[in-house]
Structure 1
Amino acid sequence: MEVSFGEDRILFLRYDFPGATVHPTGTLTAGQIRDADWELWRPEIRTTLGETLFVPHEQQAELKQFCLRNDIAGKQRLDIWSDLLEPFLDTEFSPEHVQATDNRLRQAGLSCEEAAGIRRRLTPLMHAYNFDSMLWEWVDLNLYDLLSAATGPLVAPGIQAALGDLAEFYGWAMEIADRRR
């Protein structure tokens, strides 16, 4: 991922996720940005179309300055994908913790059945990403991890291919991510 900031636009010189509006390269104007969270480890931009785009960690300050210069709101929000992918972490949670996660998912508009279906669909992918690859993440798996699992080198191509068209998968992931505004 490679990003360059202009006065009123962001140039994505290399963006690795097929389906993204800026893949493999593209430009995003300030007017196309709904809000951003530059405080995250991997800063995020949310577009007016509901897409989440990522910026390298090293460019947090640049993103913040860009947003302040262009009157773009800084907004922190919980990552619905962190809650959905929680069962694939290398850790165990108390029943109370699981219930709190389920409650957040319901508040974001996902029924228990829908959340379970999403998790079933992603089980082979996320097991391969976090366990088979020996990543062993135990703190947080999120939207960036999901997209990395679907497109990156840690998961066997056959498992990735089972997801279907990557652009469609990307759109599906973004639609879910945008539920928690």
Structure 2
Amino acid sequence: MDRNAKFIAALKRLQGVAPIQVWPATVKSIQGTNCTVDILNTDLIDVDEVNLRADDEATEGVLIVPRVGSLVYVGAVENAVDNLFVCQVSEVDRVEVKIGNSLVTIDKDQVKAVRDKCELTLSDKATLKQDQTTIELSSGKVKINNSATSLKSVLDDLTSLLQNFTVTCAAPGSPSAPFPATITQVTQLSTKINQLLS
């Protein structure tokens, strides 16, 4: 017996044990991990509490949220109408994958991944956050900042310092020294750099 024939025979044996009926349906609304559907070619309309995943109580796993108005296939475990579930979707509004303390959410506008204190968001820009520190890529530019300062501010201070750098010349041939105000600016710049960069 070839592989396909074995598979079909095994399915036929299961049908007597735990039959599952499947019907096409249209999604009417979404309620958390459930949806309301109209089962096509029947008088079953506004059928609610159709499960979007195997266990409503689960804190981990994959959640595929179908688009309202789209076609889905709805199954009934042991033909019980109070035990319906979505087994296949045609259009998706959102997908969530949660494993441990990692969560990835994908919808039409963005992809977001969160793990512990780190968060990555991809939309029309890319943003990486950890606590008070943020790195953002947008419109061909990079923005790096934390609660104390930003890389732009540090580089602006450096540019200003270099433009206004002054030294004291005691006499020709004598060593030169920066003005005290210049030393203060260099010290402040060093402090800012240490607040932002490791």
Return the TM-score normalized by structure 1: 0.21
Return the TM-score normalized by structure 2: 0.19
Q: Which has the higher helix share?
A: 1
- Bigger relative CO (Cα 8 Å, ≥ 6 apart): 1
Larger Rg over CA atoms: 2
Q: Which has the higher strand share?
A: 2
